[in-house]
Structure 1
Amino acid sequence: MTEECVCVAVRVRPLLAREVLHRHQVCVRVVPGSAQVMLGSDRLFSFDHAFGPTASQDEVYESCVQPLVESCVQGSNATVFCYGQTGSGKTYTLGGGNQDDEGGIIDRVVQEVFRLLQEKKKNNEGLDTRVRVSYVELYMEELRDLLELQNIHKELHIREDERGNTGHSNLVGTNYPVIS
């Protein structure tokens, strides 16, 4: 894995059926053969990766997330942060569509983490392994832990400990790497 601290990718989703029905027009396009998107007819934006409407879940995962998973299993912390307005495709990219569709990032990370840990165990590496995962949503300036039903109405805070590690309030102070 390269020594990049932050890698930024953009995924442009296709128009939804209701958008086509209402004759909405595509306003963001991926420039072919590049990691750039064009907004309108003249504004270019560059990213580390740019995926168009026909990109598969495999393409996104293999390019952006798989190297993080491998690094995480070797002991590094890794975070996948999805950002965008409501309806932009975050949930689809993270979780996939229905069960007939390809799985999203979460499905693939879970499978890959445990596959890699099983390989390490077979090779007598890392016999004492702990996996700790958080799935946090920031919506309307509210931070919610989506894996803790009790926290739905509990206010969570992002904190930094004395070593500079960050996490939400119920993870700070733990010795476990966080896969977000």
Structure 2
Amino acid sequence: MSEVCVRVAVRIRPLLRRELLHRHQVCVRVAPPGSGQVLLGPDRLFSFDHAFGPTAGQDEVYESCVQPLVESLLDGYNATVFCYGQTGSGKTYTLGGGSQDEGGIIDRVAQDVFLLLAERKSDGSVEATVRVSYMELYREELRDLLDMNTDYKELHIREDEKGNTGKKKKKKL
């Protein structure tokens, strides 16, 4: 795996039917295709590790951004896919897919993890425990999306006095 710890991809969704009916205009596009650059309006250029236009399929996004993470998982590395964007920007579609025929990142990761584990286990050299988290942070409230009984208020993000998140270190006496 390369030395880059964080990679950023942007996916531009197509205009929705209601946006087309209201004659909204496309204001963001990948330019030039394959460059990892996005053009906002006529002249604001932004660079990313990956940039996907409205016609990019789930396969292309998964194979470019996530599949290498799955392969590194089985080599002992941790991996996180973090989706960020405003409501309606396409996060759920990218993660969960639009239909059973075109699964999203979650479906593909689960399938690949267990296929790769089965391949490695066939020679008897691998024993694995799989742990998965699917969290939503919305308006500073955290929810475990894999636990249907979890209320937003039940999970808390903990910060120390310096604003750091995570476990507090115990002081040695």
* Coarse TM-score class (shorter-chain normalised): 0.7 to 0.9
Q: Is the 8 A contact 2:13 2:89 kept in 1?
A: yes
Mapping 1:72-151, distance limit 5 Å: 72-100=73-101, 102-127=102-127, 129-151=128-150
Cα displacement (A) at 1:51: 0.3
TM-score scaled by length of structure 2: 0.88
Q: C-alpha separation between the residues in 1 aligned to 2:132 and 2:47?
A: 31
Cα displacement (A) at 1:61: 0.2
- Indicate the structure whose relative CO is greater, using CA pairs within 8 Å and at least 6 residues apart: 1
SS at the partner of 2:2? coil
Larger CA Rg, structure 1 vs 2 = 2
TM-score scaled by length of structure 1: 0.84
Gaps of at least 5 residues in structure 2 are 160-164, 168-173
Taking every aligned residue pair, what percent have the same amino acid on both sides? 76
Match of 1:60 in 2: 61
Q: C-alpha separation between the residues in 2 aligned to 1:98 and 1:62?
A: 18
What's the Cα RMSD here?
1.7
Matched, 1:19 2:22: no
The count of corresponding residues between Structure 1 and Structure 2 is 161
Gaps of at least 5 residues in structure 1 are 161-165, 169-180
Q: Where has structure 1 moved over 3 Å in runs of 4 or more?
A: none
